[in-house]
Structures are given as C-alpha cells and as structure tokens.
Structure 1
Amino acid sequence: MRIGLLGTGPWAQMAHAPALSGHQELDFAGVWGRRPEAAKELAERHGVGAYDDVDELFAEVDAVAVALPPDVQAGLAARAARAGCHLLLDKPLAPTVEQGRAVVEAVEGAGVASVVFFTTRFQPEPAAWIAEQAGVRGWFTAHAQWLGAVFTSESPFATPWRREKGALWDVGPHALSVLLPVLGDVRHVTAAAYGPGDTAHVVLDHAGGASSTLTLSLTAPAEATGAAVELRGEAGVTCLPDSSDGAVPALMRAADALLAAARTGRPHACDAAFGLRVTEILTAAQDVLNGDAV
C-alpha cells in the first residue's frame, strides 16, 4: 500500500514518519505540509518526495496518514476519501459533529477504509485488557484520569489547537476509547471545569446502566502526570495495565488495522464512525461547559 503523510509537526516527526517508513507492508511515498519547507525537510529525512499540491499526492497513493490539527484534518480527510484514499487518522476526528459527519459520509460514499489512531487501543496489554473487560458483565462504575503537563512544561505539543480546545479534546478521546467498548454507548453527559487551567471533569451515563467519571488535564504538575482507568463491578476491581510500547509500534499496528480493513472490507472498531461518536460525546460535554446544553 502506497501511503502519504499529511503534516510536518512534532507528532508527524516523532511518530508518523518513523512508523510509515519502518512498516514492511507500506510504501511511504511522500509528505505534504502546510509549510512546504518543513515538508521538504521531513521528506528528505526519510528518503521520500515532498508535495506542494495535496491533490497530486492523493492521486499517487492508496492511503494517507494525517498528523494535523483536527479542523484541518477533517476537511483534508474527506477530500482524500473522495479521491479514493484509505485513511489513517488522528484523534479527535474533527472539532465539530458536522465536520466529523462529513468525513464519515465521504468514507462511506467512496468505500474506503478508515482507522482513527487512539493510541491505547493499539498497545498490546491495554488492548487485551479492554477486550477482556468488554466481555465481563455487571460493571457498576469506572473512573478515568488522563493528566498531562503540556501547559506546565516546555512541551512541543503546546500547539494552538490544544491551547484552544484543552484536555477535553486532546486526551478525552483516549479515555473514551477505553470506556466505550467496555461500558457501552453514552446516553447522557455532564461536565464541570473545576481545577487549574484546562482541567475538566466529565460524568457519563452509559446505556448499559453503568456510570463513569473522567478527569482530564494538560495543566498537571509533571510529577502528577499519567493515565489510569479503574473499573468496579460484580467482578471486583481492575485497572488498565501499562503498556511496554510507545507511539511508533502502536501506530504501526494501527496501520496493520487499516491494511486489514482495506483488504477485507470489514470496518475496524476504531473507524471514522467511532471517531464521530467520540466527537459527539465531546461536543455534548463542551456544550455543558459552555452553558449551551438544554
């Protein structure tokens, strides 16, 4: 599968480009970026071509991987799908439900495969734990914490879109990607912005009867960072295990999932439609935080 990369930022440099160039079943074909000089530099580093015209890249590849802010990703993803490209997307899929729905409609209309890279879902130990807990009955409640120090350290990820959208939209998708397959879909959302900076607390009422709470922040002290999920129910108490893998191996597994979906025509559990559902839940929480909820 010939695949192109859209984006040249820190995540593209640290994760996407190494994963695409190192994957044995992918032919890393080129890079497009909003800054042509950055695209040229990243492309040269990996021995591929740089493209000034994104449509030219779409015409020459079978798939694209996207490492761009969600508002930019959504429009280009729909455009790439309509050009016949399979999609390896980042989270969140889009910053609005309308933009997310446009991506899903383009994917369905073109008959291409899509995978959204929720990191935890592609790490072996967490993925196995999620699958196991999804088969357990009687969960009562869950609590997820996703705490980062992006805004309290010299992080390259303190990008404009993260400063605008905060932890709800950056790490909230990770928490939802773990909770939804275990506890089921969400029928009611509430939220509160208590704590420093972008810290947000979300409470979810799941269709199966369980509840969950999420504590999300990119303003945590460096000593307090980390991710944790605890489930409590009839089976007792269990916690999300740590992973021995970093982002690059996980992203390579996401590429494996895209290859499988493209070959078989069977959607992956983390496809664009799942990404849209995550965007819908995040939007509902944001509406509460903004005071717009009915």
Structure 2
Amino acid sequence: MRPVAVGLVGAGPWGSGFHAPMLAAGPQTRLAGVWSRRPERAREVAARFAVPAFEDYDLLLDACEAVAFAVPPEVQVSMAVRAARAGRAVLLEKPLAPDLAGATALAEAVDAAGVPTQLMLTRRYRPQVREFLDRARRFRARGAQARHLTDELFSAAYATPWRRRQGVLDDFGFHALDLLDAALGTVKDVMAVGDPHGYMALTCVHEGEGAVSQLALCGSIGSPHGHHKTVELYGREGALVLDFRELADDSAPTRENVRSEFAATVRSGVPHTVDVHHGLHLQRLLEQARSQLRGVGDGP
C-alpha cells in the first residue's frame, strides 16, 4: 500500500514529540509537511524529519491526503473544518472544540464532506488497554470506579494554557470517560460535583443493564507513590482492574496502532470506531457535567 501523505498541524510538545515521529516512521504513512501558528517551530520540527514547513495552511492541504492535528481545541475546530471541506481525512485531538457548539459544527462539516475521521485517544491504542477492554466485554460488571489523580495539569510538559484554562474535564476526563464508556457500555447520563480546577467526581449511568460508574478527577494532586490512574470493574466474578502504573512501556506498538489504523481509515474511506461522532458523544457528556458546575472553580 502506498504510504498516506499526512500533513501535521501543530509543532508543540505533543505534535513534535508524538505525531511527527509517528507519522514519519512509516511504512503506512509519510509526513508530508508541518504547519504551526509559530512558523519558526514548524521549521524546526520539519527540519528534523527533512520535510517542508508551510506558512500557508492551504499549501499544506495541497501537499497531503490527510491531516493530523496537535493544536488546542479552539484552533483545531476551524482548521479541521477547512481540511474536511478540502476532502482531507482528519486525525483529530480531543476535545474536538472548546465547546459543544463547535464540536457539533465540526461533526456536521465532516459528514457533509464525506471524509473519514479518527480520534487521538491515546489510551485506546495501547495494546494492554485493549486487552483489558476485551476482558471487560466478557466480564458482567455491575459497576466501576476510575481514578485519574495526578499533578499533570500544572507540572508536566503538556500543561499547556488551554488545559490549565479548561481544567481536568476536557483532558483527563475525556480519556477516563471514554474508557468507562468502552468497558461498561455507552454512558447515557452523568452527574458531577466538585471543582474542575481542583478535585471533582462524576457518577455515570450506562445503557443496557444500567451499570453505574464513578470517576474521580484531579490534575493538581501529588503523591509519594506517584500518579493514580486506574479503572476497576466489579461484578459477581469479583474485580477486573487496570492500573496504568503496572503497564509496561508500549509506546512503539501504540504508535504503530494509531499509524496503521489511520492509514487504513484513509484508504478505505470508512471512519474509525473511535471517530468524530464518538468524540461528540463524549463532549456532550462533558458539557452535561460542566453545566452542573457553572460558577465552581473559576480558574487555577
């Protein structure tokens, strides 16, 4: 199969550290070029991989078959709409947009253009997480608890301004809610309490047999034992546990999964199972949670 030519939008830590090397590694894809709001950063990243840097976004679109995004949601939404209207498949970041209206508009634009999409929920491409989800589908869970308790919102390399502004829901909440949705069945309702810039909790009701899950979120908490990122399912068989601290380093196969599946999505024209509409489903739930927290925690 001819490698898919993918243009990269974004040259920050995530774009330069994950997307660019993943797309350039091939053989399913090749990095066709880089665009950034900061042209000097685009040139730096492009030079590392011997590809063009573009200051004109339209020229990047002309040079590629698909576009991967590694930019804040307020930047992604308009540029992804332009890519879709140009007939380019898109590899999207979460959240899709800074608000539900923007996410809905993006999904509608993608549908109108008829281009395939895939969502960059990294944990869903990790082999060991996929093994857990395979077991979860055979495990008759009555309920679940998940935790994402870290200091990453303010201290990690990816503590970018939009994450600090939006709080834990749009970043960690997206990942954690997605895993609960995949493990227990579609989440149909959420209830939220707490502070999105501090410590908060969600209670989720799932379709089917009505399983209930609970999620604790905090991005500004430290621990002598490290971060707490877990998903625990409970049923008559006992418990099924995913603890991210116990997972082996699987960065290489994770990137391979993203790359090969995006290439297959582009070539087949069939949206990935984790696509723009799955992202819109999760964003609706997060907006439901956020509406219950209006006025709580105005910022860090």
The answer to whether the 8 Å contact 2:154/2:164 transfers is no
1:277 and 2:281 correspond: yes
Task: Tell me which residue corresponds to 2:272.
Answer: 268
Displacement, 1:57? 0.6
Residue 85 (structure 1) shift: 0.9
Q: Residues 10 and 34 of structure 2 are in contact (CA less than 8 Å); yes or no, is this contact kept in structure 1?
A: yes
- In the other structure, the counterpart of 2:127 is 124
Question: Are the aligned partners of 1:152 and 1:222 in contact in 2 as well (CA < 8 Å)?
Answer: no
Residues 59-208 of structure 1 aligned to structure 2 (within 5 Å): 59-137=62-140, 139-151=141-153, 153=155, 155-193=156-194, 197-208=197-208
Aligned AA for 1:180? D
TM-score (normalizing by structure 1) = 0.92
Q: Which moved more, 1:272-281 or 1:261-270?
A: 261-270
Letter in 2 for 1:202: L
- 1:196-275 alignment to 2 at 5 Å? 197-208=197-208, 209-221=210-222, 223=224, 224-240=226-242, 242=244, 243-247=247-251, 249-275=253-279
Matched residue SS, 1:29: strand
Q: Distance in 1 between matches of 2:14 and 2:87?
A: 25
Is the partner of 2:183 in helix, strand or coil?
A: helix
Q: Which runs of 5+ in 2 are unaligned?
A: none
Provide the rounded CA distance (Å) in 1 between the counterparts of 2:127 and 2:80: 27
Corresponding residue SS for 2:292: helix
Q: Distance in 2 between matches of 1:48 and 1:110?
A: 28
CA RMSD of aligned residues (A): 1.9
- Show CA shifts across 1:220-264 (max 9, x none): 215341310000013321012544345564233122222222233
Q: Decide whether aligned partners of structure 1 residues 151 and 27 sit closer, same or farther in structure 2, where only a CA change above 3 A counts.
A: closer
Q: Aligned equivalents of 2:290 and 2:235: distance in 1?
A: 29
Aligned equivalents of 2:94 and 2:228: distance in 1?
18
Runs of 4+ off more than 6 Å:
none
CA distance in 2, matches of 1:221, 1:151: 11
In the TM superposition, residue 105 of structure 1 has moved relative to its aligned partner by 1.6
How far, CA to CA, are the matches of 2:180 and 2:63 in structure 1?
Answer: 38
Q: CA deviation at 1:151?
A: 4.3
In structure 1, stretches of 5+ residues that fail to align are none
